Amino acid sequence: MKCKGCGKEINEDEVFCDDCKKLLQESSSKRDVEQLEELITEQEKLNDLEDTKELETLSNLDDTKVVDDLNTIEDDVNVSLKEARHKRKDNKKIIIIIVLAIVALALVLSFILILLNKPKEKENTKVEPEILDYQKIINEYGTLIEEKSKSYVIENNDILTWQKLIELVPYTDYDISCDTHNIYSDGTIYLASCKVNDVNVTYTYGNLKEEEKEGREITIYRLDYDNNFYSYTDRRNNGAKEVATITCKTTDCKYINAYDKYVLIKEDNKYNLYNYENNSIEFGPFDMYDDYSYATDLLVNNNTLYGVFYKENDQYNIYNILTGKTFKNVRGQLLIDEMNFSPSTMYKYNYAVLEEDGTYNFMNLKTGNISYAITGNLSSFIEDEKNSIVYMTVYDEYSDKFMLYNSNGKLLFDGNEYSKICVDDGLLIVANDNTYQVYDSKLKLKTSSKAYDLILALYSDFIAVIDNNILNIVDINDVHLATLDLNWDKDRYIFQSSISGWYDGVIYLLFEDNSVPYGTLGHGLEYYYIPETKESGLIKMTGLDGDIKPVS
């Protein structure tokens, strides 16, 4: 018997081969498959029926009906098979359409990626500098400041200082500073010589008015030969040079002192710091820390004023003139100048030294922070002007020795103690009782001397030593230069270090004879050494305070 689907030979009791059955199941709908399965089942039943019945009974059946039934089944199967094949073709078309759509989508995506990855033309990355309207900036800044100044005059019947005024007016759009900043009695201002973001501009703000002479005028004079400042007119004929004239705010106006381009004035029991170059108040009014020792409250060095230490609401503050910053509630007392101790040296390096309970706090004048602290008896700052080296000495009051720190507060030489120090021409020379060492500016050891009976004094390139009870002069390389005829007697001769030293190219070493009363003939001995000629000798004296003449 042949398969109704493909014509392949199959068993007689089958209608379709296995492949056609599988195809019909995969490609037909559930309803068609169920109908086919019912037809197949019915055919199988008919086959079974044919097998089981006896031949003689077949004659009793209606041959025509059986044939019709079989033909009907066969026709139904053929129709179902055709429908299945038609659906299979439709599914293939759908699959082909989907594949083509996927391929088309892939091509479109590829085209988009190619466009995205296409190298762009090089853009112009050059940033054009911002073009600022400086006149507009100065006008806006001046208007903001002037509005505050006018309102303050109306509310308080007084004018603000420039420093107080800019503190009350926050402005952060641009970095602006003006060397000329006049404030008038009605609160109007005049600005000139300004900078915007460190760029000098020629634009001004406001109107320049004639100076309002409300208070008394004070003329500042300077003596050319010692650079000291005076305010008295009778100094005019004593070699003094007129520097400037300032106009006080009130008639109760007293000159105190002047430094560089600033003058300290006391007015109505308050202090004002005037800039006499433009006749304006730089800072004030304020109360001094100590009204009876105003000089100790000014941070000044070599006639340059760095700041003011002042009192406000029972707290102490520092105003830094160079930066215009005010640091509030400063702890400790500002150190004053004493013999062998000049804290003003530190101002050049932007430090103010404040003592509190035996601790020395070094405040950075740029930031207001305490950079470091040193505990002990701070005794001196030693500066080498040529190389800008500063060393600090801290004494042990019990042993009369000192330790050495650099200007950054670092303890040097592992805390070794010394009795003498000399800084000159980029060299650091330190000595204990018996030896000395020479270091360069980077603290690299250059020389370490042999042991002597005593190191008397360090003088730059020359050192005075006692060796085998004889006074000698050696250089910084520990090379002997001269022998001075002195049979050393430590109980009799006392070295006067404070009045010994360099004078007009000569080294003088003075000794006091402790065995006779002071001032008697032969009371003291003085030796000299001239480095240029290598000459040395003894000078006879009628006393330490008498005439000094070299031995002929």
Query: Which helix (DSSP H) or strand (DSSP E) does residue 513 occupy?
Result: strand 506-513
For 475-489, how does the pLDDT look when each residue is reduced to its tens digit (9 = 90+)?
Answer: 989 999 989 877 777
Spell out where 277-435 has E strands.
280-288, 298-301, 304-312, 315-320, 326-327, 333-334, 351-356, 359-364, 370-375, 377-384, 389-396, 401-406, 420-424, 427-431
Question: Which residues, 6 or more positions from 140, have their beta carbon under 8 angstroms from its beta carbon?
Answer: 173
Residue 354 has pLDDT above 80, yes or no: yes
Residue 550 confidence (pLDDT)? 42
* AA identity, residue 40: I
Mean pLDDT of the chain: 76
Domain assignment present for residue 71? The answer is no
Domain assignment present for residue 168? The answer is yes
Domain assignment present for residue 151? The answer is yes
- Domain total for the chain? 2
Instruction: Give which of 421, 468, 423, 430 is closest to 449, Cα–Cα.
Output: 430
Domain assignment present for residue 383? The answer is no
> What pTM value is reported for the model?
0.52
For 328-341, how does the pLDDT look when each residue is reduced to its tens digit (9 = 90+)?
Answer: 888 888 876 665 56
Domain assignment present for residue 108? The answer is no
Reported confidence tier of residue 94, pLDDT bands at 50, 70, 90: low
Q: Where a domain ends, among 201, 228, 250?
A: 201
| Residues 376/355, Cβ–Cβ less than 8 Å | no
Q: What is the mean pLDDT of residues 168-194?
A: 88
Instruction: Give which of 502, 416, 427, 489 is closest to 457, Cα–Cα.
Output: 502
Of the chain, the percentage scoring pLDDT greater than 90 comes to: 12
Residue 340 confidence (pLDDT)? 58
Q: What is the mean pLDDT of residues 359-378?
A: 87
Residue 90 confidence (pLDDT)? 59
Query: Which helix (DSSP H) or strand (DSSP E) does residue 481 occupy?
Result: strand 480-487
For 443-465, how does the pLDDT look when each residue is reduced to its tens digit (9 = 90+)?
Answer: 899 999 999 999 998 987 889 99
Radius of gyration of the chain (CA): 54
For 288-297, how does the pLDDT look when each residue is reduced to its tens digit (9 = 90+)?
Answer: 755 544 445 7
* AA identity, residue 224: D
- Which range among 127-131, 193-197, 344-348 has the greatest average pLDDT? 193-197
Question: Which residues, 6 or more positions from 348, have their beta carbon under 8 angstroms from its beta carbon?
Answer: 301, 306
Q: Where a domain ends, among 25, 57, 84?
A: 84
Structural domain for 6, as ranges: 1-47+78-84
Domain assignment present for residue 177? The answer is yes
| Residues 455/420, Cβ–Cβ less than 8 Å | yes
| Residues 543/550, Cβ–Cβ less than 8 Å | no
Domain assignment present for residue 195? The answer is yes
The pair of structure tokens assigned to 98 is: 């989907």
Instruction: Give which of 221, 174, 179, 173 is closest to 204, Cα–Cα.
Output: 179
Q: Where a domain ends, among 201, 222, 255?
A: 201
3-state secondary structure string across 18-41: HHHHHHHHHHCCHHHHHHHHHHHH
Domain assignment present for residue 164? The answer is yes
Judged by average pLDDT, the poorest of 408-412, 497-501, 519-523 is: 519-523
The pair of structure tokens assigned to 385 is: 């002007």
Question: Which residues, 6 or more positions from 195, have their beta carbon under 8 angstroms from its beta carbon?
Answer: 175, 176, 177, 178, 201
Instruction: Give which of 251, 352, 250 is closest to 307, Cα–Cα.
Output: 352
Reported confidence tier of residue 127, pLDDT bands at 50, 70, 90: very low
Quickly tell me which residue has 């603000």 as its tokens.
Answer: 160
Quickly tell me which residue has 């740029």 as its tokens.
Answer: 366
- Residue 351: CB atoms within 10 A of its CB come to 25
Instruction: Give which of 380, 340, 338, 374 is closest to 356, Cα–Cα.
Output: 374
